[in-house]
Structure 1
Amino acid sequence: MLWGASNPVQRKFSSDRSRARDARMADIGAERQTMAQAVTARLWNGRWLLAAGFVAVLAVYGFAGMSAYVVLAALALLLAAALLPSGSARHSAEDAAAIEASGLQRLSGEYLAAAVADPLIIFDRTATIVHANAAAFAAFGGIAPGMTLSLKFRAPEMQALLDGVLSGTVASDVVDYTEKLPVERAYRVSASSVGHATDLYVLVFKDQSEARRIDRMRADFIANASHELRTPLASISGFIETLRGPARGDPAARDQFLQIMQNQTGRMARLIDDLLSLSRLEMKPYLKPGTEVDLRQTIDSVIDSLGPLTRETGVVIERDFVEGPLDVPGDRDELFQVFENLLENACKYGQSGGRVTVSIARTETGPEAGIDVTIRDYGPGIPEEHIPRITERFYRVDVENSRTQKGTGLGLSIVKHILTRHNARLSIKSEVGKGAAFSVHLPAR
């Protein structure tokens, strides 16, 4: 398309640009006029000081024979003093209040509501919606001016909140409210009147969902940790009681019970070590590692350290590494812990497949260029419904099998936290009966 003077779009663009230029020039002229008025006012307020000073300078000049330069300098100082704001020129409290009122009058309630990040609804004495901001539309949907609030929010606590404010029993009130659809969200809702004699009221919804979720996670964590520690403690306590009683003179029973007690204390020690490790990681989630790590050498060391486990389970670890340097930014000890956890799980829970494959490949294209490390076993696999929750603390696909394999339920949680610190991610693919593949994507820089 050719853009010429005869084009109506071009003419409209030129007209808009001319109007914008004229508006800017008018603003500049107004600013200059305001500045001139301020200077004139200051000169007028200091007129007596300026006159008295001028007379004094003339008198001194006449009697003392000063030079013209000194007189000019004195006059310049007097003029500057006159321009300085005096006490009478400063805005009084009434002037400041008038300026504030003038500024607020230019603001509409709609603009103020739009500036609030939380859902906000303005309603009248009949509980009819007058206005709702964009956050309210996004959170609740299906609301519009003219709709009755009691029909939208039917929960008893919301009805009581509206009744209390509209009846004048309370000037403002706060309740907890849960929205079930489309997803469950928890809100702290406050209601209050707007201004004086406006017959308008406002509802503000403060989202508490994330805080509630963290509280539930903390409660679940304490309950699970207590349970995991109580079980071996109860077992050890029972065996000690047996050894002091019926099995006191039975060497065979004593050796068997002592072995079980040793296994249980080892389980508690592993659990405490994992808890401490997880706690340390959570205290520094944003501390990005700044050193280079050789993935080839790190994973070779992990495989060598798991030699006794592979001989015990009869699993063969196969390597499929790409050629060339495999360096990534990170902390070697933490990445060692990641791959040790993943490989140990693959050997324990996928031992029926007889082998585990560790592959390293580069992803050179796209904005997420880096290195992918995939650990694949050929065991029973993981049912699809368990995959989204498998990195949660103490979550187990098979509780009995996990305890038999001396698992604490915290390994994959530790893996997730370490990868988050490294700006990396973990993806899991599995099919029942065909094994599982855990892939770690590490950015190259």
Structure 2
Amino acid sequence: MSDTFSNQNMATLLAALPIPVLLVGGDGRVAATNAMAQALLGSGAALGQPYVSVLRQPALVEAVESTIKDKTLRKARFLVHSDGKEGVYEVHCNPTNALNDGVLVSFLDISDREQASQMRRDFVANVSHELRTPLTSLMGFIETLQGPAKDDAGARMQFLEIMSSEAARMERLVSDLLSLSRVEAEERLPLRDSVALGALLTSVISSLAPRASETAVEIMTDLSEHDLSVRAEADQLRQVFTNLIENAIKYGGAGGKVLVTLSAVEGQPALRGQPGVLVKVKDFGAGIDPLHIPRLTERFYRVDSHRSRQVGGTGLGLAIVKHIVQRHRGRLRIDSDLGKGAEFSVLLPRGDAV
């Protein structure tokens, strides 16, 4: 490649590429670069600068140096930190005949792929942990019943009750895992049914009345705009409000109150200016430290793991709620302060606005 072509057209060629790219000459200096590479590497990625001072990270510097020497394609990782987030790039160091046997260094953003891989690893680890505890408990009780407590009727009944509780816990976990998987699989399917939210909420509250009665919790409602409808899948919305109201009963405290309201809202920015329907579920319990709120919808995230397990929580309920609300083109908002209870708001597009 001639120097004339290099000088006049190299920058144009690199600018046309959709990823950060820079060309390192055989003399070890930056010979050409594009705007994306400059944005990624900073103002130091100027023409004529030594690549060592531009790339900085040892693994990448070594890969470029080795490619200059032996003309062999190499790959390396490049990590960046911005706004508290970590980005990961897969960097290809390609030998080229341009500019005295230089190296074309291209950066492929694999942050999403790395994040997805980490999420899968975390998910498997969390599921394994959640199942291991009840399984270990069951195996221990079975061994005891087969051995020392074989002829102890009192111990046998006590152990069987605990084993039943642990088995039920595993059943809830598996059920929630299957539900989450199903919701994620259906996230892009169209919504065809019109659902009257007032009737749906009344039905959900009626089904949870025995649970509320057990802990002397009063469920108050304001469903005056009873006829509001949304385009939705009724079973999934039932799951959303069952989860939220049941959580309010569990965590609002015995003898407390839960308030469920339904109202119409206009011109919502979150719905691109469309009219919407707002359902709020509020308890008046201990509340949630605002520090935890951004992570509440993560799988297996719990503010109080011990208490959550005591009341039968799997750590997946709010993750399921989030995915269902997203499928319905809606928004979930959580507001809470310690000592002032918690309020969960579900905003959905009204009627045919979905």
What's the TM-score once normalised by structure 2's chain length?
Answer: 0.91
CA distance in 2, matches of 1:200, 1:233: 59
Task: Identify which of 360, 365, 374 aligns with 2:262.
Answer: 360
Q: Find the aligned partners of 2:36 and 2:203 in 1 and give their Cα distance.
A: 53
Instruction: Confirm whether residue 440 of structure 1 aligns to residue 342 of structure 2.
Output: no
Is 1:421 the counterpart of 2:327? The answer is yes
Equivalent residue for 2:211, pick from 287, 309, 314: 309
Contact 1:114 1:134 in 2 (8 A): yes
CA distance in 2, matches of 1:155, 1:431: 43
2:46 is paired with a residue whose SS is: coil
Q: CA deviation at 1:122?
A: 2.1
SS in 2 for 1:180: strand
- 1:181-192 matches, within 5 Å, as 181=82, 183-192=85-94
Superimposed CA distance per residue, residues 108-158 of structure 1 (whole angstroms, 9 cap, x where no aligned partner) = 322322222211112322332233222223323223223322113222211
Q: CA deviation at 1:181?
A: 4.5
Q: Does the 8 Å CA contact 1:353/1:379 hold for their aligned counterparts?
A: no
Residue 282, structure 1, aligned to residue 184, structure 2: yes
What amino acid maps onto 1:415 in structure 2? V
Query: Which residue does 1:163 correspond to in 2?
Result: 65
**Unaligned runs of at least 5 residues, structure 2:** none
Deviation of the 1:266 alpha carbon: 0.7
Contact in 2 for aligned 1:192/1:201 (Cα 8 Å): yes
The answer to whether the Cα contact below 8 Å between 2:215 and 2:255 also exists between their aligned partners in 1 is no
Q: How does 1:126-141 map to 2 (within 5 A)?
A: 126-141=27-42
- In structure 2, what is the Cα distance between the partners aligned to 1:425 and 1:361? 15
Residue pairs, 1:347-386, within 5 angstroms: 347-352=249-254, 354-366=256-268, 367-386=273-292
CA distance in 1, matches of 2:64, 2:309: 53
Helix, strand or coil: the match of 1:191? strand
Distance 1:353 1:430, change over 3 A: farther
Please state how far the C-alpha of 1:324 moved relative to its aligned partner. 5.3
**Amino acid in structure 2 at the alignment position of 1:397:** V
Question: Alignment length, in residue pairs?
Answer: 340
* 1:407 equivalenced with 2:309 (yes/no): no
Residue 301 to residue 152, structure 1, CA distance change in 2 (3 Å): same
CA RMSD of aligned residues (A): 1.9
Whose radius of gyration is greater, 1 or 2?
1
Name the aligned partner's letter for residue 411 of structure 1. Answer: G
Q: How do 1:94-113 residues align onto structure 2 when only pairs under 5 Å count? A: 108-113=9-14
Distance 1:231 1:198, change over 3 A: same
1:161-185 deviation digits (Å, cap 9, x = unpaired):
1211222x12422112222345311
Is 1:345 matched with 2:247?
yes
- Report the residue type matching 2:38 in the other structure: F
CA-to-aligned-CA distance 1:235-256 (integer Å, 9 cap, x gap):
1111122222222232222211
Q: Are 1:393 and 1:413, in contact at CA under 8 Å, matched by a contact in 2?
A: yes
**What TM-score do you get using the length of structure 1 for normalisation?**
0.73
Q: Paired residue for 1:321, among 214, 219, 223?
A: 223
In structure 2, C-alpha distance between the alignment counterparts of 1:440 and 1:212, rounded to whole Å: 31
Identity %: 43
**Which of structures 1 and 2 has the larger relative contact order (alpha carbons within 8 angstroms, sep 6+)?**
2
Check conservation: 1:322, 1:362, Cα contact below 8 A.
no
Is the CA contact (8 Å cut-off) linking 1:314 and 1:351 kept in structure 2? no
Preserved CA contact (<8 Å) 1:288 1:422:
no
Cα distance in 1 for residues equivalent to 2:143 and 2:23: 69
Q: Which runs of 5+ in 1 are unaligned?
A: 1-103
